[in-house]
Amino acid sequence: MLEAARQALGGATRVLVVTGAGISAESGIPTFRGEGGLWEGFRAQDLATPQAFARDPELVWRWYRWRRDICNRAQPNPGHLAVARLEQTHDSLLLTQNVDGLHPRAGSERLVEIHGNIDTARCTACWTLTPIAELDDGVPRCPRCAGTMRPHILWFGETYWEGTLDVGLAFAGRADVCLVVGTSGMVTAPTSVAMHAKRSGAFVIDVNPNTSEVTRFADAWLKGPSGELLPELIGAD
């Protein structure tokens, strides 16, 4: 499988990469649906919603600050570094579901953080984006209009921001290889971008220690942790 995937990548010009929480597992960030996803007895799925924020914004902000601390303390792992390296050898685009900021810190520049970013807040009234580091504790107020700020994260039940997925779909239609890493595939939009790449003729590689929604239509399943397999597939610095 690794050899077939290497060959496909070696012959590819354009590579679409789609990543999920699994690529950051080896950096010590708990995945959404795996072990360690609980905080003070709450499941992520119960806090990352507009309803939870409307009910108790203070609680949701506390949870995000806790997650932000974990993300900021974590370091990119060899999987993130290998993905960043692809930009030097291929025309590549990275769509990540992760909000942890580890891809940009590893050097990826052609990326779209389709679910937002843990270091950024957004005004619920005027949509101004502000780094959380510049805001007060508690439930911060917008520096521009004094509206309530929320984490700039796509929550369960919300629709994607305009244009976010279009760039991925356009690239998917022209990609030679689609590399999908560390996602259960249960969020349908990113999975459907990978499916679109497949239908358009791309060779799909799934990197995951477990089967996922993507394994079903992948041309190669590299079974194992991405921190070990991606450097083997792509090469390490």
Nearest CB to ligand OAD, comparing residues 19 and 92: 19
With CA atoms as reference, report the closest residue to 111 among 97, 121, 122: 97
Q: What is the rounded CA–CA span in Å between residue 127 and residue 149?
A: 9
Residue 71: CB minimum distance to ligand OAD, A = 13
Q: Which of 103, 115, 152, 196 is catalytic?
A: 115
Q: Using CA atoms of 220, 223, 226, 231 in order, give the dihedral in degrees to the nearest 10.
A: -70
Indicate the SS3 state at residue 224.
Answer: coil
Comparing every residue's Cβ against ligand OAD, the nearest one is 22
Encoded tokens for 119: 């270091």
Nearest CB to ligand OAD, comparing residues 39 and 156: 156
Residue 125: CB minimum distance to ligand OAD, A = 22
The answer to whether 221 touches 215, Cβ cutoff 8 Å, is yes
Nearest CB to ligand OAD, comparing residues 127 and 161: 161
Encoded tokens for 62: 């506390």
Residue 20: CB minimum distance to ligand OAD, A = 3
Encoded tokens for 86: 């692809």
Nearest CB to ligand OAD, comparing residues 87 and 100: 100
Residue 128: CB minimum distance to ligand OAD, A = 21
- Residue 80 falls in the annotated catalytic set: no
Provide the terminal-to-terminal Cα distance of the chain, rounded to the nearest Å: 23
The answer to whether 112 touches 34, Cβ cutoff 8 Å, is no
Query: Which residues would be at the binding site for ligand OAD (CB under 6 A)?
Result: 20-23, 25-26, 31-34, 48, 97, 115, 154, 156, 182-184, 186-187, 207-210, 212, 225-226
With CA atoms as reference, report the closest residue to 106 among 30, 19, 193: 19
Catalytically annotated residues: 115
